[in-house]
Amino acid sequence: KNDLKQVLKSKVAAEQERIKKFRKEHGKFKVGEITIDMMYGGMRGIKGLVYETSLLDTNEGIRFRGLSIPECNEVLPKAPEGCEPLPEGIFWLLLTGDCPTEENVRWLSKEWSKRAKLPAHVLQMLENLPKDVHPMAQFVAGIAACSSESKFAKGYTEGMTKAQYWEYAYEDVMDLLANLPLIAAVIYNRFYKNEETCMKVDTSKDWSYNFAKLIGFDDPGFVEMLRLYLTLHCDHEGGNVSAHAVHLVGSALSDPYLAFSAGMAGLAGPLHGLANQEVLVWLSKLKQKLGESPSEDQIKGYVEETLKSGQVVPGYGHAVLRKTDPRYISQKEFAEKHFPDYPLYKIVSTLYKVAPPVLQATGKIQNPWPNVDAHSGVLMQYYGLTQMNFYTVFFGVSRAIGVLSALIWSRALGLPIERPKSMTTDALMELVKSS
């Protein structure tokens, strides 16, 4: 009952059947309409993808297989010595739809630690990269280079059947999740400490504990923070850049390593995952200018100046959400519990008070509230992980949990290669004229 692949096997056939019946009965049902503004506007509001693991409500935020963030924090298993949810648990939940038991989660921790073994050529390639290559670019390269190990690609070459796709994808996903902390650690240790990474993981410990240890952090507070962080950033339905890129590239039957590296290239953009780095850069400049303990008015002035100079206020706004991101709230609660008096946390809290009205006053920003990236860097800073251009790599390690569980389901459901229709402006004008 702990073997995840067996658990999944029992679900796949039933789900295939349920969808087959649903499509037979309602396949021609109209889901929505597409306007020209939507086409020029980043396809906002177009319901065009099936993605099973999570669903975003514009006001309430994300739900993972129907569970909200507070519900997940409550019910997901914790480490024996901790009280934050384990990311292993959310992977089990996203993949199977069931809340895991403690035993399930311990099995998964062990399974990932057993599979953690980085191919020598990947290590060598990372070591050969110049040090000024951004950690996210190194991360993308490291993941893509692991494609040499893909059981999915090998299976395809050797003629696996369509019904077997998901099983091979599952094997790659498990190996990849096991190895992501190693890839991240090699980049971190080389980039910031000029050190080789001791690649040993403790098979009696959880994924986050081992990840923290690999980068030289053994403070239990940091490990607990990392467990929460890696749980919170895992998934945000299917249309965001990283999830959509993985989904799209995976639909060409590129192996999970290649599909995931494409997603990470998208996460590296400043309007998406890189925003957590941007927030810290922006906060550092704020501190440089205004000192450690600026007043409310000074912080408000700084937000206004940022807008006036034509820059975005990083960590605020969202393409779909219209309220404060519950992932922000969860991180705020963690900070409130562990370091309410930390000066940088106080600045972030004051921003939460003064920035939304300023953003709202512009009249054009759809969502003046903070998103996940507005808070995560502060947690890292408090525990001494101060290298901000590494922050998006943490986001990426977590994001793997969601987008790769979704990828297994996409293969299990036999989703075809993605190929929406595009139009030229002339063709659109013609369409309007002839209607």
CB of 366 to ligand FCX, least distance (A): 3
Residue 399 found at the interface with ligand FCX (CB under 6 A): no
Residue 273 found at the interface with ligand FCX (CB under 6 A): yes
Give whichever of 210 and 392 is closer to ligand FCX, judged by the CB atom.
Answer: 392
Give whichever of 104 and 240 is closer to ligand FCX, judged by the CB atom.
Answer: 240
Rounded CA gap, 150 and 164, in Å? 14
Is 247 a residue of the active site?
no
Q: What are phi and psi of 224, to 5 degrees?
A: -65, -45
Residue 371 tokens, joined: 């998103």
Is 233 a residue of the active site?
no
Residue 264 found at the interface with ligand FCX (CB under 6 A): no
**Max Cα–Cα distance, the chain, nearest Å:** 68
Candidate segments 97-105, 126-134, 313-321, 413-421, binder of ligand FCX by CB under 6 A: 313-321
Q: Which residue is nearest to ligand FCX (CB)?
A: 317
Indicate which single residue of 118, 313, 344, 358 sits in contact with ligand FCX (rule: CB under 6 A): 313
Indicate which single residue of 319, 350, 389, 415 sits in contact with ligand FCX (rule: CB under 6 A): 319
Indicate which single residue of 137, 312, 413, 415 sits in contact with ligand FCX (rule: CB under 6 A): 312
Give whichever of 146 and 275 is closer to ligand FCX, judged by the CB atom.
Answer: 275
Candidate segments 151-159, 269-277, 289-297, 344-352, binder of ligand FCX by CB under 6 A: 269-277
Give whichever of 89 and 314 is closer to ligand FCX, judged by the CB atom.
Answer: 314
Residue 315 found at the interface with ligand FCX (CB under 6 A): yes
CB of 238 to ligand FCX, least distance (A): 13
Residue of 236, 318, 325, 375 marked catalytic: 318
CB of 305 to ligand FCX, least distance (A): 12
Is 236 a residue of the active site?
no
Burial annotation 233-263 (CB, 10 A radius, 16+ → b, else e): bbbbbbbbbbbbbbbbbbbebbbbbbbbbbb
Residue 317 found at the interface with ligand FCX (CB under 6 A): yes
Residue of 233, 244, 247, 272 marked catalytic: 272
Applying CB under 6 A, the site for ligand FCX has a residue count of 21
Rounded CA gap, 258 and 392, in Å? 19
Rounded CA gap, 237 and 235, in Å? 6
Residue of 206, 235, 373, 375 marked catalytic: 373
Q: Which residues in the 358-377 window bind ligand FCX by CB under 6 A?
A: 364-367, 371-373
184 neighbors 411 (Cβ within 8 angstroms): no
Q: Which residues are catalytic?
A: 272, 318, 373
Residues that bind ligand FCX (CB under 6 A): 240, 271-273, 275, 307, 312-319, 364-367, 371-373
